[in-house]
Chains A and B, each alone.
Chain A
Amino acid sequence: MSLERPDSVDDAAIERTPDELEALLGDLVVDRDDHLNAPGFVIRPDTVQETLRTLKEQAGYDHLSVVSAQEYENRYESIYHLKKYDDPTQEVSIVVPADKDDPVSESAEPVFRTADWHEREAYDLIGIEYDGHPDLRRILLPETWQGHPLSMDYDKDRPQIATLPEHANPLEDHHKDAESDTMFLNIGPHHPATHGVLHLKTVLDGEQVADVEPDIGYLHRSEEQMAQSGTYRHQIMPYPDRWDYISAGLLNEWAYARAAEDLADIEVPEYAQVIRTMGAEMCRIAAHMLALATFALDINGDFTATFMYAINDRERVQNLLEDLTGQRLMFNYFRLGGVVWDLPEPREEFFSNTRDFLDQLPGSIEEYHNLITSNEVFQMRTIDTGVLPPEVAKNYGATGPVARASGVDYDLRRDDPYGYYDELDWDVVTEEGCDNFSRLLVRMREVEESAKIIEQCVDLLEDWPEDERTIQANVPRTLRPDDDTEIYRAVEGAKGELGIYIRADGTDKPARFKIRSPCFSNLQTLPEMANGEYIPDVIAALGSLDIVLGEVDR
């Protein structure tokens, strides 16, 4: 079955026990601080690069998922969550404490390129400084912001000033660089092609892009603070819907549900897992449809018909989701330990509607292939543009369709199974093209795989005995996970690895809630794809990344 990965045994793939890892790191380890998901090693703040390099090169930990930073009463702490692209169940956490009065820690950027943005975010929100970081500036908040909002002594009532710098007309002579003949151009933050409020600072050399720098934070809604001020049981679940708001709500809710359930040791009934799996895949179809629709519009404004067709298919799947959850977009359907209610009555009608949708889907996909993938103009614009080689993708921590289109065979639904995925028959889609076209193909083929999963779930649910339809496990009214337990858990969201790090402090609210957004890491690859290409290719590359700013900025 396709769920088993091809054997590729080498040194890096060997699974090491925590003690073997400790032996490998030797003197670098000063203490152990195990997390629920992985062994944790405490190291000195000036040995970050050495430790990470050893783990990357000698033990095969080639994926830096996220850097979560936090402040304790007596210290600051950055945690580097490492795993392997070949087997994401092999995880290790590197804990780097920093001095309370002068929080400085060595930057991991020379080892993992992705650490660049993650450390900037940690600096912005927590206030840890990273020594040797190439460009340590604020990333989400305005440059002129005072204080670090997730640090302990932050006063959120203090006044703040945000600037609106005037940019001179790029066509005027004095705004061109006389020597190199380049020109500066702002794209966004309000621009139809930026998919929301993203600002691209581009430097052009003629029509070619010399440099592009994404400027984010225009939709930074303090999601982590909101989660940290909500109780585990009910108050956090509505927020995940609003991270990746392209109808991918259930996928996001699952990220929180998985982390919190593992943290509080809650077992989810099988029946609820099947419903979750089905709902999540419906969300994936809706999300990929919008990716396709807007990508077609980005390539050529004349693809409005494709947009309308894709929206039409989204309406169909949204109707199903509305029947299931009662909402069109912000579902709030998962609960810790299950889902909020059973399938809608009459069940037969829901099943037959779902089957109708699945039956017409191959026809729709055929239509999209006719409209766009076999269109010559479309192919000229997308094939061999926005190339992202697999090593670069891994170095930037790219996941999801972006990584899979570069041939990185990484899908958490198969590699780190949760829900009901490992019981079902489906394939992980990869493409080898590494370009914009491949990324679209991966999404279109994933829609077919999702349809396969939904169909099997419907079969299972139809035959489920009536007295075994348990939708919720017994969960205490108030959850208080043990003090100082930490966990990082991820699921395969629509855009890639959506992970959550939670530290519990014995109360009913998380002490630290860190969201690992796939779009945040994926967007970071844009300069790699766009530099040296023509300006329309930047737009195509950005569209093919399928970012959603709610999740980039959080």
Chain B
Amino acid sequence: MSSDQPFITDESQVVTETRDARMTGQGDRFNSRLREAFGSSPFILTKFDKFLNWCRGSSMFMLQFGIACCSIEMMHTYAVKHDLDRFGSGVPRASPRQADVMIVPGTIVSKFAPRMKRVYDQMPEPKFVVGMGSCTISGGPFQEGYNVIKGAEEVIPIDIHVPGCPPRPEALVYGVVKLQERVANGEAAPVTVKPYELEEFSDLERDELVDKLADQIDDDELVMRYNFADSP
């Protein structure tokens, strides 16, 4: 459009029917073909839980949570080309308090595990976790590392594991869609072993290590104790 022309709406092109109906209050703007199919009895019969689970599975808010290499592929999954939003689960939330799903995209190390546990605790129920990549399964290529937690499941429960180093965006999409399917079907998370808990320092069983650290750590400070010898 050239700029010297004033902007004129071509009235003949505008579908005024619904607009007029709305302005006069006659039309129902929420009307739809589906609604019409119900006819005069606009009720459906289902179980409340089933309906709610369907809602949950159809709209999932992800936690914007980048840890390591996998988060690069996770960004690609959110962005153009793979576009996770197509499946109703592509709205990354920066705050854990607004998120339903946490994708754990990377290696968990000793310094980060307590923080991840805290972020997980901050998410409201019901919450779900997708473990992305081999590091969240077993520590992956870094399993032998002196500082590496052997899988995110040692800290928080995980619903879906997506293997790969890193998994391709397609694999993550598949994992998330699988999770949505499970949520919609009301399938519960598997029972998990979580050896590492956040606890107050004074609650730890006293041993050589605890005695040694007693003057460094306050009694009510939260700590996580790693028993690397017992790790898988």
| CB of A95 closer than 8 Å to a CB of B | no
Most chain B beta-carbon contacts within 10 A, residue among A158, A218, A225, A229: A218
Q: What residue in chain A is nearest B76 (Cβ atoms)? A: A311
Q: Least Cβ distance of B51 to chain A in Å?
A: 33
Choose, from B25-33, B180-188, B222-230, the stretch at the interface: B222-230
Residues of chain B within 8 A (CB-CB) of A143 are 216
B228 close to A164 (CB less than 8 A) = no
Instruction: Provide the A137-172 mask, 1 if CB < 8 A to any CB of B, else 0.
Output: 000111111100100001011111111111000000
Residues of A within 8 A of B76 (CB): 311, 314-315
B67 CB contact (under 8 Å) in A144, A145, A196: A196
Q: Which of B79, B166, B226 has the most CB of A within 10 A?
A: B79
Query: B47-72: contact bitstring with A at CB < 8 Å (1 yes, 0 no)?
Result: 00000000000000000111111011
Q: Are the C-beta atoms of B111 and A217 separated by less than 8 Å?
A: yes
Q: Mark A311-335, 1 if CB is under 8 A from B, else 0.
A: 1101100000000000011100000
Q: Encode A230-256 as 1/0 by CB contact (under 8 A) with B.
A: 000000001100100111000000000
Interface locus among A187-195, A528-536, A539-547: A187-195
For window 42-98 of B, CB contacts with A under 8 Å fall at 64-69, 71-73, 75-76, 79-81, 94, 96
Provide the bound-state CA to CA distance between A552 and B111, in Å.
Answer: 15
Beta-carbon contact of A158 and B228 below 8 Å: yes
Chain A, interface size: which category?
Answer: 35 or more
B114 CB within 8 Å of chain A: yes
Once bound together, how far apart are the Cα atoms of A290 and B75, in whole Å? 10
Decide: A197 near B67, CB < 8 A? Known: A158-B229, A311-B80: yes
Contacts of B227 in A (CB 8 A): 159
Provide the residues of chain A in CB contact with B21, threshold 8 Å. Answer: none
Q: Is the CB of A219 within 8 A of B67?
A: yes
A163 nearest CB neighbor, chain B only: B223
Cβ A160 vs Cβ B226 within 8 A: yes
Contact B110 A142 (CB under 8 A): yes
Report Cα–Cα, A82/B83, bound state, in Å.
Answer: 47
B198 CB within 8 Å of chain A: yes
Residues of A within 8 A of B116 (CB): 190
Asked if A14 is at the interface of the complex by the 8 Å CB criterion, the answer is no
Q: Are A141 and B72 CB-contacts (below 8 A) given A161-B224, A195-B66?
A: no
A144 pairs with B216, CB closer than 8 A: yes
A550 at the interface (CB under 8 A from B): yes
A145–B146 CA distance with the chains assembled, in angstroms: 11
Indicate whether B118 reaches chain A with its CB closer than 8 angstroms.
yes
With a cutoff of 8 Å between Cβ atoms, the chain B residues found around residue A223 in the complex are 142
Q: How far is the CA of A229 from the CA of B216 in the complex (A)?
A: 33
Please judge, given known A-B contacts A162-B110, A225-B146, A329-B166, whether A219 and B65 are in contact too, CB under 8 Å.
no
Q: Which residue of A lies closest to B220 (CB)?
A: A166
Contact of A221 among B64, B81, B107 (CB under 8 A): B107
B14: Cβ under 8 A from any A Cβ:
no
CA distance A549 to B141 in the complex (A): 17
State in angstroms the CA–CA spacing of A142 and B66 once bound together. 20
Which of A146, A149, A157, A550 makes the CB contact (< 8 A) with B209? A146
Chain A residues closer than 8 Å to B67, beta-carbon distance: 196-197, 219
Q: B109 an interface residue at 8 Å Cβ cutoff? A: yes
Q: Give the residues in chain A near B168, CB-CB below 8 Å.
A: 328
Q: How far is the CB of B97 from chain A (nearest CB, A)?
A: 12
B68 touches A219 (CB 8 A): yes
Does the CB pair A218–B69 fall under 8 Å? no
| Contact A218-B146, Cβ < 8 Å, known A144-B213, A166-B222 | no
Residue in A192, A195, A222 whose beta carbon sits within 8 Å of that of B146 in the complex: A222
Contact with B along A268-298 (1 / 0, CB 8 A): 0000000000000000000000100000000
Indicate with 1 or 0, residue by residue over B3-14, a CB within 8 angstroms of chain A CB atoms. Answer: 000000000000
Determine whether the beta carbon of A164 is less than 8 Å from that of B223: yes
Shortest beta-carbon distance from B136 to chain A in Å: 13
Of the candidates B76, B94, B210, B227, the one having the most CB atoms from chain A within 10 angstroms of its own CB is: B76
Q: How far is the CA of A193 from the CA of B65 in the complex (A)?
A: 11
CA distance A307 to B75 in the complex (A): 10
Q: Are A165 and B107 in contact (CB under 8 A)?
A: no
Let me know if A222 and B141 touch, CB within 8 A.
no
Q: Tell me the A491-538 residues at the B interface (CB within 8 Å).
A: none
Find the B residue at minimum CB distance from A550. Answer: B68
Residues from chain B with Cβ under 8 Å of A157 in the complex: 228-229
Q: In this assembly, does A383 line the interface, its C-beta being within 8 Å of a C-beta of chain B?
A: no
Chain A neighbourhood of B166, CB < 8 A:
329-330
Q: Which chain B residues lie closer than 8 Å to A165 at the CB level?
A: 221-222
Which A residues form the contact surface with B (CB < 8 A)? 140-146, 149, 154, 156-166, 189-192, 195-197, 217-223, 225-226, 229, 238-239, 242, 245-247, 290, 307-308, 311-312, 314-315, 328-330, 549-550
> Lowest 7 A-B CB distances belong to which pairs?
A222-B145, A245-B69, A164-B114, A311-B79, A157-B229, A156-B146, A164-B222
Q: Mind listing 19 A-B residue pairs with CB under 8 Å?
A: A144-B216, A149-B147, A154-B146, A160-B228, A161-B204, A161-B210, A161-B226, A162-B110, A163-B222, A165-B221, A190-B96, A190-B115, A191-B94, A196-B71, A219-B68, A220-B147, A222-B145, A226-B144, A312-B80
Binding site for A on B (CB under 8 A): 64-69, 71-73, 75-76, 79-81, 94, 96, 106-107, 109-119, 141-142, 144-148, 165-166, 168, 198, 201, 204, 209-210, 212-213, 216-217, 221-229
